[in-house]
């Protein structure tokens, strides 16, 4: 009996050893297969680098800050809207014309007003005659009531009250008609609309729809109003922001305004963001862009050197325009500061291989979160974003060559690991209870007992 138990233990031990060896062999196979796939795809052995010149270049070129188109305009604009019930006979100005107080802008065709006035005067005369008739009727009823019998007086009273109500209604109708005619007379008298401020005609829009009728002065954007006049004097900047970026701009935010012609800049502050009204951006075919754009306005500290209608672009001022030491400034997140006493960057060694490059740090700009590089790096170098997976000697590839599936390619060689799912049943090996099914091996005659293996107490 003791010999049988010992043989069973030896067989179980042998099977366990074989399984351990198989597991180790399978693990090694999957590791090397995955490594081959990684090398084939270039996933873990490629470091993507970006040129220092790009990282430290002008902000508009690397997209760190959004820039917005803008146009120089007057601090004040006024819209002269046309009436819906009249036709325009003639327009006296064009977009871009200078106007003064009293300058005629356009004139209405009075034909319809004159016809309406003639009809209205006839109607008013009829109403007045009817009013006199009602008054005569009331006087007659009052006389008849005095001489009528007592039983009939109540009937006369009712008739008189009815006529008095008619009288009040007629008086109201006459008053309304007189006001209507006064408005028509006023429209005729003021058929010619004049400017009440000195400025420049910004735009003339058809049907007050914002669709440019004669062309907009100072830009392709138009705003509601038949004729829009900009007051001359101090300037402001009108910018446009897309619906996707509108909440990046807030009132009171400092702004840097850039000239499109040279390096001249101006400073200002966002005075308002109009989130209620959109501006029309049209292409050469008159078609909209498909997304909404909203106007915002910037008050300038000084408008010296700016011209009415001049095109500019703007960026929110985060301190990037401040004067600071000349030199190479690098964002701190590109520097590995694991050891503060030995900062370094992951750089291309010039031969397409990755290396650790020690850098000498200078002044730190807290607002921009950048270090001045005093040594170890130049704009001709290319560096990678610090990552734990980076190793010296890795192949360097420009960041522009990265594709969306760059990382997925490195995992293709690991597809065989799906077969590991079948190993879940190995949990039953704890205590080797799952080996009970191997008892049939007792009948295997060609397996020699391992006499040299002594059983160890507590093992298996």
Q: Give kind and range of the element (H or E) at residue 352.
A: none
What average pLDDT does range 187-212 have in this prediction? 78
- Count of C-beta atoms within a 10 Å radius of residue 108: 21
Q: Under a CB-based contact definition with an 8 Å cutoff, are residues 330 and 52 in contact?
A: yes
Beta bridge mates, 211: 206
User: What is the Cβ-side half-sphere exposure of residue 250, based on CA atoms within 13 angstroms?
Assistant: 4
Beta bridge mates, 296: 239, 273
Max Cα-Cα span within the chain = 154
Instruction: Average the pLDDT over each of 1-5, 35-39, 54-58, 328-332 and give the range with the smallest value.
Output: 35-39
* pLDDT of 28 strictly over 50: no
Query: What Cα–Cα distance (Å) separates residue 389 from each residue in 48, 51, 209, 392?
Result: 12, 20, 59, 10
Q: What is the pLDDT of residue 77?
A: 80
Q: What is the pLDDT of residue 19?
A: 56
Q: Is the Cα torsion angle 139, 141, 145, 147 positive or negative in sign?
A: positive
Q: Give kind and range of the element (H or E) at residue 139.
A: helix 111-147
Beta bridge mates, 49: 384, 398
Instruction: Determine the 3-state secondary structure of 305 from DSSP.
Output: coil
Q: What is the pLDDT of residue 326?
A: 76
For 347-379, how does the pLDDT look when each residue is reduced to its tens digit (9 = 90+)?
Answer: 999 999 999 999 999 999 887 789 999 999 998
Q: 423 or 259: which carries more pLDDT confidence?
A: 259
Q: Under a CB-based contact definition with an 8 Å cutoff, are residues 306 and 356 in contact?
A: no
Q: 104 or 14: which carries more pLDDT confidence?
A: 104
* pLDDT of 35 strictly over 70: no
* pLDDT of 62 strictly over 90: no
Pair type for strands 46-51 and 382-384: antiparallel
> The tokens of 333 are what?
């997140």
Q: 357 or 210: which carries more pLDDT confidence?
A: 357
The whole-chain average pLDDT of the chain stands at 76
* pLDDT of 16 strictly over 80: no
Query: DSSP secondary-structure letter at 301?
Result: S
Q: What is the pLDDT of residue 256?
A: 92
Q: Please list the alpha-helical segments (H only) found in 345-456.
A: 406-409
Query: What Cα–Cα distance (Å) separates residue 101 from each residue in 73, 193, 195, 233?
Result: 19, 11, 5, 15
Query: What Cα–Cα distance (Å) separates residue 274 from each residue in 83, 211, 249, 250, 252?
Result: 26, 19, 11, 10, 14
Q: Under a CB-based contact definition with an 8 Å cutoff, are residues 223 and 212 in contact?
A: no
* pLDDT of 64 strictly over 90: no
* pLDDT of 96 strictly over 70: yes
Query: DSSP secondary-structure letter at 128?
Result: H
In the sheet that 360-365 helps form, which strands lie side by side, from edge to edge? 328-331, 370-375, 360-365
Q: Is the Cα torsion angle 377, 382, 333, 265 positive or negative in sign?
A: positive
**pLDDT band, very low/low/confident/very high, at 86 (cuts 50, 70, 90):** confident
What average pLDDT does range 418-439 have in this prediction? 41
Most confident listed range (240-244, 379-383, 436-440): 379-383
432 contacts: CB under 8 Å, gap ≥ 6:
12, 16, 460
Q: Give, in degrees to the nearest 5, the angle at Cα 232 between 227 and 235.
A: 105
Percentage of the residues of the chain whose pLDDT score is greater than 90: 42
User: What secondary structure does DSSP assign to 4-48, as a single string?
Assistant: HHHHHHHHHHHHHHHHHHHHHHHHHHHHHHHHHHHHHHTSTTEEE
Most confident listed range (42-51, 52-61, 86-95, 285-294): 86-95
pTM for the full model? Answer: 0.39
Q: What is the pLDDT of residue 344?
A: 97
Nearest CA to 188 among 124, 121, 123, 117?
117
Q: What is the pLDDT of residue 410?
A: 46
For 155-179, how does the pLDDT look when each residue is reduced to its tens digit (9 = 90+)?
Answer: 999 999 999 999 999 999 999 999 9
Q: Under a CB-based contact definition with an 8 Å cutoff, are residues 367 and 386 in contact?
A: no
> The tokens of 63 are what?
């997209």
Tell me the backbone φ, ψ of residue 170, rounded to 5 degrees: -65, -40
For 301-353, how does the pLDDT look when each residue is reduced to its tens digit (9 = 90+)?
Answer: 988 888 878 999 998 887 665 666 778 889 999 999 999 999 999 999 999 99
């Amino acid at each position: 009996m003791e010999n049988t138990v010992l043989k069973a233990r030896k067989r179980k031990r042998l099977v366990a050893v074989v399984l351990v060896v198989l597991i180790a062999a399978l693990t090694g196979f999957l590791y090397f297969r995955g490594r081959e796939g990684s090398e084939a795809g270039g996933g873990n052995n490629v470091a993507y680098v970006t040129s220092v010149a790009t990282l430290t270049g002008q902000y508009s070129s690397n997209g760190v800050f959004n820039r917005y188109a803008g146009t120089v305009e007057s601090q004040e604009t006024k819209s002269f809207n046309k009436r819906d019930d009249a036709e325009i006979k003639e327009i006296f100005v064009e977009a871009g014309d200078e106007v003064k107080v009293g300058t005629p802008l356009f004139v209405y065709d009075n034909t319809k007003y004159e016809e309406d006035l003639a009809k209205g005067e006839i109607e008013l005369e009829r109403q007045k005659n009817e009013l006199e008739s009602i008054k005569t009727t009331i006087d007659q009823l009052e006389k008849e009531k005095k001489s009528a019998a007592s039983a009939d007086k109540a009937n006369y009273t009712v008739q008189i009250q009815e006529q008095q109500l008619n009288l009040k209604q007629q008086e109201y109708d006459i008053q309304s008609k007189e006001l209507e005619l006064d408005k028509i007379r006023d429209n005729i008298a003021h058929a010619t609309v004049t400017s009440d401020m000195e400025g420049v005609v910004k735009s003339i829009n058809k049907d007050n729809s914002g669709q440019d009728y004669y062309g907009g002065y100072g830009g392709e954007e138009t705003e509601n109003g038949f004729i829009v006049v900009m007051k001359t004097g101090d300037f402001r900047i009108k910018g446009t922001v897309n619906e996707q970026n509108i909440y990046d701009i807030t009132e009171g935010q400092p702004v840097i305004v850039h000239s499109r012609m040279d390096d001249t800049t101006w400073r200002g502050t966002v005075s308002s963001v109009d989130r209620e009204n959109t501006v029309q951006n049209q292409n050469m075919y008159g078609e909209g862009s498909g997304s909404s754009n909203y106007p915002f306005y910037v008050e300038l500290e000084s408008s010296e050197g700016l011209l009415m209608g001049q095109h500019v672009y703007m960026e929110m001022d985060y301190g990037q325009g401040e004067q600071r030491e000349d030199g190479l400034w690098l964002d701190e997140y590109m520097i590995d500061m694991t050891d503060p006493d030995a900062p370094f960057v992951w750089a291309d060694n010039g031969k397409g291989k990755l290396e650790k490059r020690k850098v000498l740090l200078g002044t730190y700009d807290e607002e921009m979160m950048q270090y001045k590089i005093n040594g170890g790096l130049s704009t001709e170098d290319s560096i990678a974003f610090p990552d734990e997976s980076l190793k010296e000697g890795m192949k360097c590839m420009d960041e522009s060559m990265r594709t969306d599936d760059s990382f997925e390619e490195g995992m293709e060689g690991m597809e065989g690991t799906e077969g590991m799912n079948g190993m879940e049943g190995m949990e039953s090996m704890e205590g080797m209870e799952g080996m009970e099914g191997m008892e049939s091996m007792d009948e295997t005659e060609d397996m020699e007992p391992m006499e040299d293996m002594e059983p160890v107490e507590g093992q298996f």
